[in-house]
Amino acid sequence: MIRKLKKEEAEKLMEEMNLQYDSQLKEEGLFLSKDEKRESRKIFLYTGDAIPNVPAEWTGQHYCTITGDKMIIPSIEGAQAIGKTAKKTIDLDYEQAKYVMSGRDVEVAEEKEGGYYILKTGRDVLGVGFVEGRKILNRTPKSRRTMQQYRTI
């Protein structure tokens, strides 16, 4: 079941997302909420002119997931949007980016406060990772991983 978010709900979502990732994103489009009865629910962004009158399996773009404890976890596409202005980011070199996109955890030189971060390499946003100490736990969906194999670093 999909529900359109009211304007104030969408504004609140953006506000919380900006707070969580220290960003200043203003998104245009219609936000839709799915799986509202589950502990985690998915939020979709739809930029079409109208919602068509057909039986839908999927509408728009999976933008983020809101967990039971109110954490907002952006999809790769949501992260690509918010990552333009976010400051809660971790910059990786291209070799580390390849590991992330192949589904591996990576370690960084500097210990960070735990939680979700936007992962970037240069200006490219890779999605999010969950940081525990120096380790970035992989959150790349299986369907978006490269099949190339890399050693763990």
Partner 1 sequence: MGINRDFEEYHQRLYNDYDRFISALRKPQRTSIRINTLKASREKITGFLEKNKVAYSQIQWCLDGLWIDSSFELDTVEHQLGYYYTQNSSSMIPAIVLAPVPSDYVLDLCAAPGSKTTHIAQLMQNRGVIVANEASFVRVRALVINVQKAGASNVTVSRRDGCGYEKYGQRFDKVLLDTPCSDIGTARKNPQVIQRWTLDRVKKLSSLQKKLITSAYNCLNKGGVLVYSTCTTSREENEDVIEYLLKKNRDAALEEIKIPGIKARNGLTEKTRECARIMPQDNDTESYFIAKIRKEE
Binding site for partner 1 (CB under 8 A): 29, 45-62, 75-77, 80, 94, 97-98, 101, 121, 124-126, 143-148
Nearest approach, Cβ of 114 to partner 1 (angstroms)? 26
Shortest distance, position 140 Cβ to partner 1, whole Å = 8
Separation of CA 126 from chain center? 9
**Nearest alpha carbon to residue 121 among 82, 89, 149:** 89
C-beta closer to partner 1: residue 40 or 146 = 146
**SS3 letters across 67-103:** CCCCCEEECHHHHHHHCCCCCCEEECCHHHHHHHHCC
Q: Nearest CA to 77 among 42, 122, 36? A: 42
What is the pairing mode between strands 89-91 and 106-121?
parallel
Q: Tell me the closest approach of the beta carbon of residue 137 to partner 1, in angstroms.
A: 18
Whole-number minimum distance, CB 124 to partner 1, in Å? 6
Comparing CB distances to partner 1, the nearer of 45 and 90 is 45
Nearer to partner 1, 67 or 146 (CB): 146
